[in-house]
């Protein structure tokens, strides 16, 4: 069973990300992540079904910390190790508190995580992080963002791509809670909310 701790955008940011997704969906319909709801992933783990109830019971009701997001640029990962394509996203400016929250989540919940490595994962740092934390993108590999979609590299000079990258954005958001979701491929089911008590 795969579970994810997410941050969700506010109404205005969500609307803007969905608009960007629609621009790409018109031409690149079958590409990865375009049909996912807007969110920022903090931590994803896969647990054994028998541990599910115990895991849910261990979830804290709140974390005492303030988090303010700033998003001013649309960027891309030119060689996404998961999709082997170019992943376009709304960049979240450097935020120490987000990194701190991820560390708290790992410290408390990595004990539930399966530490097995997929045969498709070849990069050493990804294998190491999976074994140690149950998730690939931690510490200096954690780049907070909200994904638009992952598009084949052959389309990188298309007008639709340039339109997305040239888009001007300026969003500020105070985060009041985290969200725990169950992940089934492209389906996401909300399980719990965790308040950020300030």
- For residues 134-149, give the mean pLDDT: 96
Distance CA 71, CA 94 (A): 10
Q: Is the pLDDT of residue 159 over 80?
A: yes
Task: Evaluate whether 76 touches 165 at the Cβ level (below 8 Å).
Answer: yes
What is the average pLDDT value for the chain, to the nearest integer?
A: 93
Select from 3.90.1140.10, 3.40.120.10, 3.40.50.10490, 3.40.50.1000 the CATH code of 2-196.
3.90.1140.10
For residues 19 and 59, the model is more confident at: 19
Q: Is the pLDDT of residue 181 over 80?
A: yes
Band (pLDDT 50/70/90 cuts) for residue 61 is confident
Q: Whose CA is closest to 171, among 69, 82, 43?
A: 69
For residues 62 and 24, the model is more confident at: 24
Sequence spans of domains, the chain: 2-196
Q: Is the pLDDT of residue 14 over 70?
A: yes
In the structure encoding, which two tokens stand for residue 111, read together? 């004990």
In the structure encoding, which two tokens stand for residue 88, read together? 């376009």
Q: Is the pLDDT of residue 16 over 70?
A: yes
- For residues 135-139, give the mean pLDDT: 94
Q: What is the pLDDT of residue 96?
A: 94
pLDDT single digits (tens) 21-47: 999 999 998 899 999 999 999 999 999
∠ CA 147-168-100 to the nearest 5 degrees? Answer: 45
- For residues 98-107, give the mean pLDDT: 94
**Torsion over CA: 107, 1, 80, 119 (sign):** positive
Which strands make up the sheet holding 73-77, listed edge to edge?
73-77, 86-91, 145-151
Q: What is the pLDDT of residue 198?
A: 56
């Amino acid at each position: 069973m795969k579970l994810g701790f997410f941050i969700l955008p506010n109404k205005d940011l969500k609307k803007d990300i969905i608009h960007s997704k629609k621009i790409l969906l018109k031409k690149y319909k079958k590409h990865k992540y375009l049909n996912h709801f807007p969110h920022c992933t903090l931590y994803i783990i896969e647990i054994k079904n028998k541990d599910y109830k115990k895991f849910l019971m261990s979830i804290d009701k709140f974390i005492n910390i303030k988090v303010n997001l700033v998003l001013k640029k649309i960027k891309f990962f030119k060689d996404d190790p998961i999709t082997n394509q170019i992943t376009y996203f709304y960049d979240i400016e450097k935020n120490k508190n987000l990194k701190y929250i991820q560390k708290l989540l790992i410290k408390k919940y990595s004990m539930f995580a399966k530490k097995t490595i997929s045969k498709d994962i070849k990069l050493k740092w990804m294998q190491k992080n999976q074994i140690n934390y149950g998730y690939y993108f931690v510490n200096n590999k954690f780049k907070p963002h909200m994904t638009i979609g992952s598009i084949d590299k052959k389309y990188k000079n298309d007008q639709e791509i340039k339109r997305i990258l040239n888009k001007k954005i300026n969003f500020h958001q105070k985060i009041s809670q985290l969200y725990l979701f169950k992940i089934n491929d492209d389906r996401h089911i909300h399980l719990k909310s965790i308040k950020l008590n300030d």
